[in-house]
Structure 1
Amino acid sequence: MTVVGPFVKPRPPRFWVVVLAVVFALLQLANVTGRDTPDTKNYLSYALSLRGASKHEAAAATIDYACAGRASIARRNQSVNVVHFREPSPARRVAEECRRDQWGWVSKRLSAGQTAGHTVPFMPPRFMRIFEARPGYPVFLVPFITVLGVKWGLWTSSVLITVTGGVLAFLVLRTLRAPTIAALTGQALFYVLPCGTTAMRPMTEGLLLTLTLAALWGCALALEGRTRAATALVGGSLAALFAVKHSQALFLGLCLAGACAVLGIRRGGLRQPLRRLARPLREVGVVAACGVAVTLLAAKVLGYPSESESLQDLLTAHFSRPDRGRPWSDFLDLEVNFWVEWLRREFWQPFFPTALLAGAWGALRQRPAFGVFLVAGALTGVLNQAGHPDINIYGDRLIVLAWVLPVVGLPLLLEQVVRPRVRGLDTVPGPLRTHAGPNTAMDAGAGAGLDAGVAR
């Protein structure tokens, strides 16, 4: 706050957006290494190959990065071990063992002629084909690792992706005409909930979260009647998702097209402002449906691994065992077992389902039309998890997209608490309502400027 004469001038919203982003970035200096997963090696070696590195050079840089992270974790773990904390650091030993182990497998595969594609052969060829079909994230990494090197390039790119996701959460909420404090809460939630932690890992999930939020921002703009910007954001996000992970583009296209269909069916029962949005909703639905069709066609033309191949990868532990004779039957049995166990664990610590329910309630109660889109976006995380019913894959990263529901929905749930206190300070008016009490006339973004006769 700055004082101008007898008046207090509030900081502009962008100031606090930058403050939150900077604070988050500084906090991430606590863990510059040690965030990688086995998938990180595949993406990093792909990026190094695109930069012009040979297979051996890409393998050396990737293995050094992965083993340095493993050594760092071993050192930190020992420093707090109640028995061994006074002993010498195990970092050098762990790094050497890691390099010896990784080079043992890579050298054998390179000697056997497994040199096709962009990735280093850390795994069998059938498994590596899955990553060859995901060029988007490696392409994104290239300028960062070229300018800053592998360690700081990966860290900086992860910070940028995660910060952008938080800013997009803020923009979605402001487009929905939520108060500034609610929008900033959404940005902060993106950083502190598991979506922020997962986005900071050098994998595709950060880009998936950011691009999904970009598409949802387009949906919010569609409810404002801004058709051109909406279709550009939705179409661009689906195209980028295809490059990053084409199955996610398929899921998001299907879910957004379904959301448009639901809103189209319900349009006659909603109030006049939403009925006037038939054209924006129709065009977003068409773009989403076209995204689904193009994704299926392009994946077929480019020879991407099929769903059957992905199924065998899951059921054979990355092709380390013979193919299953009845993969779909085995998959369905595993699917049922997975969700029973998943629910058991979630009920034991029910923070995630509680956050999902609260977020859905906030979004569907305060902005019912956009709430349908938000639930559709979160559903892509559930579909992604359902396609990979593995209970042990680095926490809940496969279902992480479901966290967009509380990130946006919880601030909307809190909106009625904070709005009376900031009514005179916000530059954007609150959501439009009728005089009919608790019934929302329509989503705030859909109502502004479209129905001057609706009372505030």
Structure 2
Amino acid sequence: MDTARTVPPAPAAARAARGAGRRRAALPLLVCALYAVLQLVAGPQFTLFPDSYRYARATERYLGAPPAEAHRTALAAYCASRADRTAHDRRLQPTVRQSEDAIRAAAERACLDRWADAPDITTGDPRYQAIFAGRPGYPLLAAPFVAAFGVLRGMQVLGVLTAAAGSLLVLALLRSAGLTRRAALVGQVTFLATPLGWWSAQALSEGLFTLCTLGTLWGGLLLSRRWSAAGASLTAVSYGVAAVTRYSSALVLAALLSAVTVGALCLRGRARHRGTAAFAVLSAAAAGGVAVAMRTLGLPSSQDTLQDTFTHHFEAPDVPDPWGSLAGLAERFWADWSAQQAALPYFLLLTALAAWALARYGGGLGRLALAIGVTGALQVTAHPLTTEAARLGCLMWMPVVLGLPLVVDRHWSARPVRQPARGRGDAPDSP
């Protein structure tokens, strides 16, 4: 029959299906490649921060350099990076007549002369140095990249890879939650386009901690669907790496996720199973373990970081009531932040839409994503400084990154939501 001639032979149909599958699988990698190209075009937008210098110095020490040499190497990279940014910014001023090379050379020399004999570009106070000594995670991760490419280029390569890995984790997490490829790809692109992606690409610990946060969230999602073995392993590893990356942030994250999960166990009948209980126990154990380690190892506490904040890195005498000072500063900061958001409310609008989607469609994913957003807000509250708020509060974008794909999946997807496979008698924790 004529209609039979229009059906392609089985081998051809199979080849076409395999080709389409390979193209769909390659699309997320293409997004990562495009992102890497854009980072190369960004030029001096990648700049080492003062904290980057300290992480670079620690990395050099892990690679075997003596303290003085580690300082010189990290300082050289820091000064070169800042000089590039200074030259770029000054050349945009209409009254500047110097060449960019001359501006760069002068800025680099001034930076090196200023800090060459100093113990640190901020302060050598032991209390301040102890804050970074308890964070070996990122310097250890950076070590092979710095060994291969040098400080500046190695940290930039690591940043691009970290941001790309974070976007792929978002993609895989959303697929595990049952979203379509199109919706998960929206989540990947959103991650790279928001401050979460930008700060993940910087030479700071934010990128590694974001990966740990996503790993913890993914483990919690798997456990909420009773995939206990994989979820428990992923959760435990993520908490462990987070603790050696930024132990104070890991403590807040674990405590909040534990509280949210215990609440789900008490209030949601479908959440009362072994997987959810396991995640609650792992989160509580992570929070307790970090608290015990802080006391046992003598790591700097919130009291120390508050004194650092209110004494400008211990240059001024300690304040008598740092918690009272924090309450007043936080109140002023959030009032100012609210006014700024009211003037340009794109973040509030996106967060409101994402929060609605997570609450309505997210199930276990929704409550965990919203808890991570609250973690970001608490980190800002603990350090309510306008110069650091964007970095410390980047986790506040996590509900947007994970919530907008749910809107796409429910309202603009051509196919129904795919439910993940589950064992007999299991039921996903969903609305």
State the alpha-carbon separation in 2 of the partners of residues 398 and 231 from structure 1: 27
Is it true that 1:25 corresponds to 2:39 in the alignment? no
Deviation at 1:354, TM superposition (A): 1.9
The C-alpha deviation readout for 1:331-381, integer Å capped at 9, x for no partner, is: 211121111111112222212222222221111111233211111122111
The C-alpha deviation readout for 1:418-453, integer Å capped at 9, x for no partner, is: 32x245xxxxxx25xxxxxxxxxxxx5597865689
What TM-score, normalized to structure 2? Answer: 0.90
State the alpha-carbon separation in 2 of the partners of residues 56 and 135 from structure 1: 19
Deviation at 1:80, TM superposition (A): 2.7
Distance 1:323 1:86, change over 3 A: closer
Deviation at 1:30, TM superposition (A): 2.3
- Aligned 1:8-407 pairs, distance under 5 A: 9-12=19-22, 13-31=24-42, 34-84=46-96, 87=99, 89=101, 90-104=103-117, 106=118, 109=119, 122-268=123-269, 274-275=270-271, 278-393=273-388, 396-407=390-401
Deviation at 1:312, TM superposition (A): 0.6
State the alpha-carbon separation in 2 of the partners of residues 29 and 404 from structure 1: 25
RMSD: 2.4
Contact 2:243–2:290 under 8 Å retained in 1: yes
Contact 2:84–2:104 under 8 Å retained in 1: yes
What TM-score, normalized to structure 1? Answer: 0.85
Which segment drifts farther, 173-182 or 123-132?
123-132
Gaps of 5+ in 1: 110-118, 269-273, 424-429, 432-443
Deviation at 1:42, TM superposition (A): 0.8
> What amino acid does structure 2 have at the position aligned with 1:241?
A
Identity rate, percent: 26
State the alpha-carbon separation in 1 of the partners of residues 331 and 25 from structure 2: 46
Deviation at 1:129, TM superposition (A): 0.9
Distance 1:367 1:17, change over 3 A: same
Gaps of 5+ in 2: 1-10
State the alpha-carbon separation in 1 of the partners of residues 43 and 212 from structure 2: 24
State the alpha-carbon separation in 1 of the partners of residues 396 and 318 from structure 2: 31
> What amino acid does structure 2 have at the position aligned with 1:410?
L
Contact 1:168–1:213 under 8 Å retained in 2: yes
Contact 2:226–2:273 under 8 Å retained in 1: no
Distance 1:360 1:453, change over 3 A: closer
State the alpha-carbon separation in 2 of the partners of residues 312 and 186 from structure 1: 39
Equivalence for 1:411: 405
Contact 2:180–2:409 under 8 Å retained in 1: yes
State the alpha-carbon separation in 2 of the partners of residues 157 and 85 from structure 1: 36
Distance 1:449 1:96, change over 3 A: farther
> What amino acid does structure 2 have at the position aligned with 1:368?
G
- Aligned 1:414-425 pairs, distance under 5 A: 414-419=408-413, 421-422=414-415
Equivalences, count = 414
> What amino acid does structure 2 have at the position aligned with 1:411?
P
Contact 1:137–1:244 under 8 Å retained in 2: yes
The C-alpha deviation readout for 1:242-280, integer Å capped at 9, x for no partner, is: 100101111111111112112112223xxxxx25x5110
State the alpha-carbon separation in 2 of the partners of residues 126 and 453 from structure 1: 48
State the alpha-carbon separation in 2 of the partners of residues 46 and 185 from structure 1: 37
State the alpha-carbon separation in 2 of the partners of residues 133 and 181 from structure 1: 41
Contact 2:225–2:426 under 8 Å retained in 1: no
State the alpha-carbon separation in 1 of the partners of residues 189 and 197 from structure 2: 9
State the alpha-carbon separation in 2 of the partners of residues 452 and 142 from structure 1: 44
The C-alpha deviation readout for 1:389-408, integer Å capped at 9, x for no partner, is: 11222x50111111111111
State the alpha-carbon separation in 1 of the partners of residues 362 and 127 from structure 2: 45
Deviation at 1:124, TM superposition (A): 2.1
